[in-house]
Chains A and B, each alone.
Chain A
Amino acid sequence: MRNPMARLPKDFFGGALMVLIGVATVVGGARYSIGSLNRMGPGFFPVAVGALLALVGLAIVGAAWLERAPPVAKIWSLRRAEWRGWFCIVGSMVAFIVLGRHAGFVPAASAAVFISALGDRDNTVKSAVLLTILMLAICVVVFWWALQMPIPLFRWG
């Protein structure tokens, strides 16, 4: 194993992430007035919850150490990274936002279905186009015509 991180068990990362979020919440919460138990300020609850989260994060790391959990590399080698799928799913929703703002509902909805469909390796361009047309028709009828969603089908700028 070249990467020394890969020797650590999975829960080390999970626990560390929780500690990070907890500490960030404490630091962020401390910027608001904390007050006293008698009269709590807006900062009290965030600081308390953040501190608890950080403690639980430490406990998760401790538990993984206690049970000598297997290193993360062993588990992750079983599951391939799906960059294409991930990229297409996130990209399809970003495309929906951008096109929805500037080009209207039809381009936005088409892009969302078409791009995410390409994320699955078994879909061809042809099947993605057919699925897009079908879903577009359903959505225009349901959302635009029946529920009268206030968004133009096409627009510029």
Chain B
Amino acid sequence: MVFAESLTGLWYGFEVALQPHNLWWSFVGVLIGNLIGVLPGLGALTAISMLLPITYTMHPVPAILMLAGIFYGSMYGGAIGAILLNLPSHPPHAVTCLDGFPMTKAGKAGTALGITMISSFFAASFGIVVMLFASPLLVSVAFKFGAAEMFSIMLLGLLAGATMSRGSPLKGVAMTLFGLVVGIVGTDVNSGVDRFTFGLMELSDRVELVALALGVFGVADFLANVNHMHAISSAKTAVRLRDMRPSKAELKQAFAPMVRGTLVGTLFGAMPGTGPTVATFVAYALERKVSRTPERFGQGALEGVASPEAASHSKTQVDFIPTMSLGIPGDAIMALILGALLIQGVQPGPQLLTEHPDIFWGLIASFWIGNALLMVMNVPMIGVWVRLLQVPYRYLFPSAILFIAVGVYSTRNSFFDVGEVVLLGIVGAILIALEFPVAPILLGYVLGPPVEENFRRALLLSRGDMTVFLRHPISAAFIAICAALVLAQAYFGVRRALRKRELGGRLSEV
């Protein structure tokens, strides 16, 4: 039953996505995403938040198609920089550098890029199929969710997002809580009281999403990197078109790693809060473990390129499942896309499928179209990308600052919001200097209001009885996973700290 429903849905989705207007914006999205992904030092987060203001005046369908296109388009772009110039400017592609760059040095850049594109497309297609069939199933379960279940699953999403990314889990939790605090600013929907607005009219409408995103991911980054990003040696990377078609033997060699990487990415995509970086590292490690010749890794092994790239792309697609069907974003990028939907007046969640089938199915179909466009586009454009890679940072960041200023201004035609960006940028730079991960701030900010809302409603219905979260079985299961996560992190954290202490003690004796 669900199977047939998904297929008719997909058919309808293609009808939506192939409308010239929607197709055009999807194309614009992947093109801009690809371009910005190639540029050193700018990531998908900056790209999406810079273009978010433009979508405010658009119809929701093309708006979301374009934003999603930027996301996966930038993934393609990031791989190009990693392979050709050893640029790990986009964390998920850091692993690709390990074997991609040695291949370039050995004159096999074309093969590496070709295999990357094939595995990306394969993995994305698999991820789309998973989304196609898993989302309606998840939606039918999610309809049974009440306030208690919603609160518990959001809590799990926040905790996972905070603890499973890179760096210290404690600091991730701190940043998530900080994001929740930022999310409190504004008028409380239940009582109409202005909270933490300091008497400023502009703040009663919450801190602007675009201002927060561009502050902590744009301006803060520039403040941290100015005069530290140095010119990359412009390696001679003339990639010819016919080099990009891998031979039959190479295809055969890359096939199994590609499938394994795809499965790893899908698995990690199903877990909320795990960033794409973790998935690519696991995929690479797995490949090295199953290989009969692990010593080739790091010297230009094709498997070391195919598998992580496949993992990052299948994860990218699967990530959309909880965002669209539950309204719970898995990471900062999904939080931004969720925020964009909310601004459009579209509430993501189980009702999205019935209320806005055009968005849901159109998005899925556009994934396929967008990925195909990227494949076709990247082949002739590769020369342009290579040249773009060499744009120095000293031209890049002033231009980006102008786009940020104009973009934030245009969201509400307000200079106050530009001031917000400056302030949040400085705060973000301080946090980066203190080695805090900034991505969870966005997650906390976006999930803050629904978390509070569901917490209040659940306790209102239970008349203040806290055990309501444990008495509902689904909610209890989520709480149990949360508890397990916290306990495991605490155990490993203390053990790691003690080991470091021992190491430090021994070092000082020497």
Contacts and interface: CB of A to CB of B under 8 A. Distances in A.
A131 B395 contact: yes
A113 B226 contact: no
B405 interface: yes
A42 interface: yes
A92 B498 contact: no
B233 interface: no
A22 B191 CA distance: 23
Contact of B394 (A28, A90, A122): A122
A66 B498 contact: yes
Contacts of B180: 49
A56 B174 contact: yes
Contacts of A21: 178, 181
Contact of B402 (A63, A82, A139, A149): A139
B281 interface: no
Contacts of B455: 45
Please classify the interface of chain B as helix (H, G, I), strand (E, B), loop, or mixed, using the class held by over half of its residues: helix
Contact of B222 (A53, A67, A89, A112): A89
Contacts of B402: 96, 109, 112-113, 116, 135, 139
B466 interface: yes
A18 B403 CA distance: 32
A46 B181 contact: yes
Interface residues of B, number: 68
A32 B170 contact: no
Contact of A100 (B168, B188, B227, B409): B409
B464 interface: yes
Please classify the interface of chain A as helix (H, G, I), strand (E, B), loop, or mixed, using the class held by over half of its residues: helix
Interface string A76-110: 00010010111001101110110011000000110
Contacts of B171: 14, 60
Contacts of A73: none
A89 B181 contact: no
Interface residues of A, number: 73
A85 B426 contact: no
B227 to A, nearest CB: 5
Interface in B183-232: 184, 188, 190-191, 193, 195-196, 219, 222-223, 226-228
B219 A66 contact: no
Contacts of B219: 89, 93
Nearest to B192: A42
Contacts of B403: 139
A39 to B, nearest CB: 7
B410 A112 contact: no
Given A85-B223, A112-B401, A96 B170 contact: no
Contacts of B196: 28, 46
A85 B227 contact: yes
Contacts of A109: 402, 405-406
B184 A147 contact: no
A120 B405 contact: no
A59 interface: yes
A110 to B, nearest CB: 9
B247 to A, nearest CB: 42
B459 interface: yes
A97 B418 contact: yes
A2 interface: no
B508 to A, nearest CB: 9
Interface string B149-177: 00000000000000000001011011001
Interface in A37-56: 37-42, 44-46, 49-50, 52-53, 56
29 contacts: A10-B435, A14-B435, A29-B195, A32-B193, A37-B464, A40-B456, A42-B191, A45-B456, A46-B181, A49-B177, A53-B174, A67-B498, A67-B500, A68-B505, A82-B228, A84-B227, A89-B223, A90-B422, A90-B426, A93-B421, A96-B402, A112-B402, A112-B405, A113-B399, A116-B397, A122-B392, A131-B395, A143-B410, A147-B54
Q: Which 8 A-B pairs have the closest CB atoms?
A: A38-B464, A85-B226, A37-B464, A67-B497, A120-B394, A14-B434, A117-B398, A67-B500
Interface of A: 10-11, 13-14, 17-18, 21-22, 25, 28-29, 32-33, 36-42, 44-46, 49-50, 52-53, 56-57, 59-60, 63, 66-70, 79, 82, 84-86, 89-90, 92-94, 96-97, 100-101, 108-109, 112-114, 116-117, 119-123, 127-128, 131, 135, 139, 143, 147, 149-151
Interface of B: 54, 168, 170-171, 173-174, 177-178, 180-181, 184, 188, 190-191, 193, 195-196, 219, 222-223, 226-228, 392-395, 397-399, 401-403, 405-406, 409-410, 413, 415, 418-419, 421-422, 425-426, 429-430, 434-436, 452, 455-456, 459-460, 463-466, 493-494, 496-498, 500-501, 504-505
Given A89-B401, A127-B394, 16 more contacts: A22-B177, A36-B464, A40-B456, A63-B170, A63-B493, A67-B496, A67-B498, A89-B219, A93-B422, A100-B409, A117-B395, A121-B227, A143-B406, A147-B54, A149-B413, A151-B409
